[in-house]
């Protein structure tokens, strides 16, 4: 049931994103900063690690290949942590997402990962190069 709800949310968000023009940027384009990932690490330990060990998101991101990052972010924000969805600020969710990307060894860079839906929808989830 939980998974079905998450999928429904993801589908809704996917419909929304389909109207946004595709941008060639992907997870491989250094879309978050190291500082965000550092901050996200502590948040992840407090709010996510109990249910998702550090290896959890690797296969998950592979399954999401080709989807807009904004959809993934929407699932996180609206349904996680499962015990208290939406409990964190949007910036905190972005930092956690940065940490999740660092766990899968996507490159970090100068540019901060935004919490604005429009810009997250322009980034495509892609397998690591
Ligand atoms: C109380 C347990 C619990 C906590 C805490 C929790 N989750 Fe989850 N999460 C789940 C369950 C259960 C699912 C459904 C999929 C599964 O069974 O693995 C899930 C699924 C997800 C998914 C969708 C994965 C997919 O297959 O598409 C994401 C993204 C996610 N969680 C992120 C987070 C983040 C980020 C946090 C911390 C802010 C968090 N979760 C905290 C239990 C939890």
Domains of the chain: 25-124 (1.10.760)
Ligand 1 atom closest to Cα of 48? 37
Q: Distance from the CA of 82 to the center of ligand 1, in angstroms?
A: 6
Q: pTM higher than 0.85 for the full model?
A: yes
Express each pLDDT in 97-113 by its tens digit: 999 999 999 999 999 99
For residue 26, give the DSSP letter: B
Cβ of 125 below 6 Å from ligand 1? no
Ligand 1 atom closest to Cα of 2? 14
Please report the pLDDT score of residue 19 as a whole number: 47
How far apart are the C-alpha atoms of 84 and 46, rounded to whole Å? Answer: 13
Q: Distance from the CA of 3 to the center of ligand 1, in angstroms?
A: 10
3-state secondary structure of 20: coil
> Looking up tokens 């592979």, which residue turns up?
62
Express each pLDDT in 76-91 by its tens digit: 999 999 999 999 999 9
3-state secondary structure of 68: strand
| High-pLDDT (> 90) share of the chain, % | 76
3-state secondary structure of 124: strand
| Residues contacting residue 67 through CB under 8 Å, at least 6 positions apart | 10, 14, 124, 125
Please report the pLDDT score of residue 111 as a whole number: 93
Q: Which residues pair with 124 in a beta bridge?
A: 26, 68
């Amino acid at each position: 049931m939980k998974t079905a709800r998450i999928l429904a949310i993801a589908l809704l968000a996917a419909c929304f994103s389909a109207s946004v023009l595709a941008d060639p940027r992907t997870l491989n384009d250094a879309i978050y900063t190291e500082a965000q990932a550092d901050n996200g690490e502590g948040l992840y330990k407090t709010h996510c690690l109990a249910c998702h060990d550090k290896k959890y998101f690797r296969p998950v991101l592979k399954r999401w290949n080709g989807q807009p990052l904004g959809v993934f972010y929407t699932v996180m924000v609206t349904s996680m942590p499962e015990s208290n969805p939406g409990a964190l600020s949007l910036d905190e969710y972005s930092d956690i997402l940065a940490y999740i990307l660092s766990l899968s060894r996507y490159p970090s860079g100068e540019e901060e990962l935004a919490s604005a839906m429009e810009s997250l929808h322009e980034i495509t989830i892609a397998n690591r190069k």
